[in-house]
Amino acid sequence: RTRNEVLFFPSKMACINHIFAPSSPQLCFCPLPHGVETSFSRLLRCILSASSSLDLCVFSFSNMDLSRAVLTLYSRGVTIRVLTDKDYAAITGTQIGVLRKAGICVRCDVDSVYMHHKFSVVDNRLLITGSLNWTRTAVQSNMENVIVTEDPDLVRPFIKEFQKLWLHNDPA
Amino acid sequence: RTRNEVLFFPSKMACINHIFAPSSPQLCFCPLPHGVETSFSRLLRCILSASSSLDLCVFSFSNMDLSRAVLTLYSRGVTIRVLTDKDYAAITGTQIGVLRKAGICVRCDVDSVYMHHKFSVVDNRLLITGSLNWTRTAVQSNMENVIVTEDPDLVRPFIKEFQKLWLHNDPA
Ligand SMILES: [Zn+2]
Ligand SMILES: [Zn+2]
């Protein structure tokens, strides 16, 4: 059966530290609830399931937990490509500079008015897409949706579109 | 086979007048290309395929062609429900007032920071969702995506979420 899941936001707040280190014992003393599954923890798990590649195409990226997820994947040797909007790459609180400094390959859309996508593809197999920018407000305060699917009819066009945009915005 | 389609934007520009009156002869003398299928014409066709209901949940709605589509459905007796963001319902160029004046039922989200969804459900059967706000800029200038699907695993959660938001924002 093809994996198909819809997540709605705002997400409840809960500790997500254990998701980053599933194998080590869970001793966290932060004030957030523990052992609670939320839309955001589901989203993080999907992203952190990447074992070979993560292609991310997102308008606005300032969420520090999501940045931590991308950096974690990078430290595990996962190939990361980030495509973002040229204007929003420079705003306050953006994580784009952090990713770049870590060595992650980032390209900015230079042509369109807004590069307004909010999708990612995990291991060329799992599509994560919807209305949700990778910001704290989107996760914690807005009404948002995210579709997580392995349906090839949906995943394939996004892989193709990412490739097109990536090549088109070649910094060379 | 379940219907699954992905549309990418910006859309090419082409005349869309014939889509509103498919049965009458196509005599249009506007300067746009004719007989060209585009992402936007596909989107319009999906929306105009509604025969019983259209539930629309969209952050920003200023596109006059999409407004015309909703008004056309309304004139055909299709039940329309529009849920939008309270702040964006009042901005310049919004079509929300036009829809309200025509008699269409509109509710505004009052709780969250942004009601940032951009989805609609046609006849409780077809889901149209993605990054695309119902604005001219989104259609003509931005990089955007829209998924059109009849997969019940995806459609059902959105129907449920719409119902929840609709009841929660009861104006009474
Ligand atoms: Zn904790
Ligand atoms: Zn014409």
User: pLDDT, tens digit, for every residue of A125-139?
Assistant: 999 999 999 999 999
Q: How far apart are CA B160 and CA B137, in angstroms?
A: 30
How far apart, in Å, are the Cα atoms of A67 and each of A59, A73, A135?
14, 10, 10
Per-residue pLDDT band for B26 (boundaries 50, 70, 90) equals low
Select from A16, A154, A86, A114 the least CA-distant residue to B132: A114
Q: How far apart are CA A98 and CA A24, in angstroms?
A: 26
Q: Tokens in use for A1?
A: 């059966």
ipTM for the complex shown: 0.94
Q: How far apart are CA B45 and CA B72, in angstroms?
A: 12
What is the model's pLDDT at position A15? Answer: 94
Q: In a 3-state reduction of DSSP, which class is residue B59?
A: coil
Select from A74, A72, A54, A47 the least CA-distant residue to A139: A47
Lowest mean pLDDT, pick from A23-37, A43-57, A97-111, B147-161: A23-37
What is the model's pLDDT at position B25? Answer: 64
What is the model's pLDDT at position B101? Answer: 96
Q: How far apart are CA B159 and CA B5, in angstroms?
A: 19
Say whether A118 is catalytic.
Answer: yes
Per-residue pLDDT band for B93 (boundaries 50, 70, 90) equals confident
Q: Chain B: which residues have CB within 8 Å of chain A?
A: 2, 4-6, 8, 10, 59, 109, 112-119, 129-132, 137-138, 141-145, 147, 149, 151, 153-154, 157-158, 161, 165
Given A85, A87, A118, A168, the catalytic residue? A118
- Buried-state track A145-160, b at ≥16 Cβ within 10 A, e below 16: bbbbbebebbbebbee
User: B114–A142: do the CB atoms touch at under 8 Å?
Assistant: yes
Identify the residue with better confidence: B116 or A2. Answer: B116
User: A158–B6: do the CB atoms touch at under 8 Å?
Assistant: yes
Helix axes B64-75, B39-48, angle to 10 degrees: 20
What is the model's pLDDT at position B103? Answer: 97
Average pLDDT over residues B112-134: 96
Q: Is the pLDDT of residue B115 over 80?
A: yes
Give the rounded percent of residues in chain B with a pLDDT score beyond 90: 81
What is the model's pLDDT at position A25? Answer: 64
User: A143–B112: do the CB atoms touch at under 8 Å?
Assistant: yes
